[in-house]
């Protein structure tokens, strides 16, 4: 197993099926805060639901696709980042994230996403990374900006939450634009 030290007190590591109990407890702390910003299938309930979510990612990882990573701060799972999609053959990926409210403001998401981009561009040879977020999610758009991504446009009413459709922003960065590619 690996871990990426993000700060003196935080690390990034794979979030695996055996973390289901810890993931379920974390989602209980984060659920209402992240509900408007993530897909409903991510907001699993209880340990069986957490195990099912992590199993879906494990199956996709085994097929060289999506991957999920947890952020532990002072030994407690506080959020994570993921490759919502990773298609090495096409040279594309999409990043996503979530964080419980008491862990915000420490730069953990930006540091974690930089680690994912470094790996995607530097190791896997990905050409283009995307970030998609609700147009009214300023915190998420700010992460895309800090990652050096370019705002490409808005997909109108492309994000459904309950019975309401929201606009979705699309951001991207190319390998040639990344710090990893430039050395």
pLDDT given at position 1: 59
- List alpha helices for the chain, DSSP H: 20-34, 46-62, 108-122, 138-146, 179-182
What pLDDT is attached to residue 101? 93
Query: CB atoms < 10 A from the CB of 28, how many?
Result: 13
Cα distance between residue 169 and residue 129, in whole Å: 14
Full pLDDT tens readout for the chain, 183 residues: 589 999 999 999 999 999 999 999 999 998 888 887 887 777 788 999 999 999 999 999 999 999 999 999 999 999 999 999 999 999 999 999 999 999 999 999 999 999 999 999 999 999 999 999 999 999 999 999 999 999 999 999 998 888 999 999 999 999 999 865 444
Question: Are residues 94 and 130 in contact, defined by beta-carbon separation less than 8 angstroms?
Answer: yes
> Which letter does DSSP use for residue 19 in this model?
G
How many angstroms separate the Cα of 47 from the Cα of each of 20, 55, 92, 95, 158? 6, 12, 32, 25, 30
Per DSSP, the three-state class of 130 is strand
Residues 6+ apart with CB under 8 A from 127: 91, 92, 174, 175
Sketch out the chain's domains with CATH numbers: 4-129 (3.40.630.30)
44-67 pLDDT tens trace: 889 999 999 999 999 999 999 999
Asked if 180 and 121 count as a contact pair (C-beta separation under 8 A), the reply is yes
Question: Secondary structure of the chain: what % helix, strand, coil (to 5)?
Answer: 40, 35, 25
Burial of 40 (0-12, 13-18, 19+ CB in 10 A): exposed
Do the strands 10-14 and 4-5 form a parallel or antiparallel pair, or are they unpaired? Answer: antiparallel
């Amino acid at each position: 197993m690996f871990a990426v030290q993000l700060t003196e007190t935080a690390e990034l590591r794979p979030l695996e099926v055996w973390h289901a109990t810890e993931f379920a407890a974390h989602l209980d702390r984060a659920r209402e805060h992240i509900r408007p910003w993530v897909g409903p299938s991510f907001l699993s309930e209880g340990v069986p639901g957490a195990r099912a979510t992590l199993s879906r990612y494990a199956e996709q990882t085994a097929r060289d696709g999506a991957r999920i990573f947890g952020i532990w701060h002072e030994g407690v799972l506080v959020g994570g980042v993921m490759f919502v999609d990773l298609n090495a053959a096409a040279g594309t990926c999409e990043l996503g994230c979530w964080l419980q409210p008491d862990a915000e403001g420490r730069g953990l998401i930006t540091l974690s996403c930089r680690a994912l981009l470094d790996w995607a561009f530097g190791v896997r040879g990905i050409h283009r990374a995307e970030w998609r977020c609700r147009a009214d999610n300023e915190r998420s758009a700010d992460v895309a900006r800090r990652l050096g991504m370019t705002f490409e446009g808005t997909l109108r009413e492309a994000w459904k939450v309950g019975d309401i459709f929201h606009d979705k922003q699309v951001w991207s960065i190319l390998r040639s634009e990344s710090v990893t590619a430039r050395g």
